[in-house]
Amino acid sequence: MDLFLLCSGDYRIGAAGDFKLQANEVASGLTMPYPALAILRYRLTPSSFDRAVGLAEVFTPPKAVEAGLLDRLVDPDAVVPVAQEVAASFLTLDASAHAASKRQARATLLADLQPASRPSSRRSRPPVSPAGTRGPQVRPPKPRFTNHFVAALGPKAGSQVLMARTKPARRPSLR
């Protein structure tokens, strides 16, 4: 499942070297979970997606960049410092614009991750509200912060996710 956590990052950094990345569910005799399929479909090139999911292909770090699993390769000793540098650079972004753009860009992925959009025999059941009762969904409150995630994968980093949190800029009042 580390691979799916990695693919969920806004920016993915990996260590160059003799390492392998694999979605090994099929090789282990498991059916790929639907959310994992949606995340991999969003991140990988179409041919890499088919090979990763159906054939459990093993990717070296350079092939992982070509496939879309990683954004950048660095020396193994530089994984965490580079990830921290990238996370810090996210703090310069306008949080409101970033969050809105990210929601729009990933709307299809987010819809695919919703239980109602998954193939299921229980699809006809009404959604469960946060209070646990059947009925209309209650929208969660708007977040007060925007989270930016940098995924780091390497021998000294293990699997880490670094988070930079920014507060949305206040909009000027029109009064």
What does 66-109 look like in DSSP terms, one character per residue? HHTS-SEEE-GGGHHHHHHHHHHHHTTS-HHHHHHHHHHHTHHH
CATH label of the domain that carries residue 51: 3.90.226.10
pLDDT per residue over 108-157, tens digit each? 888 888 775 566 544 444 444 455 555 455 455 455 555 556 666 666 55
| Residue 88 is assigned to a structural domain of this protein | yes
At 154 the pLDDT is 63
For residue 48, pLDDT over 60 is answered with: yes
| Residue 28 is assigned to a structural domain of this protein | yes
| Residue 125 is assigned to a structural domain of this protein | no
Give the CA count within 13 Å in the CB-facing half-sphere of 49: 12
CB contact at 8 A, 6 and 69: yes
| Residue 100 is assigned to a structural domain of this protein | yes
Domain range spanning residue 69?
Answer: 2-117+146-166
| Residue 92 is assigned to a structural domain of this protein | yes
| Residue 39 is assigned to a structural domain of this protein | yes
At 83 the pLDDT is 87
CB contact at 8 A, 40 and 7: yes
Q: Where on the phi/psi map is residue 166: left (φ > 0), alpha (ψ -120 to 50), or beta?
A: beta
| Residue 53 is assigned to a structural domain of this protein | yes
| Residue 79 is assigned to a structural domain of this protein | yes
Domain total in the chain: 1
At 69 the pLDDT is 94
For residue 46, pLDDT over 70 is answered with: yes
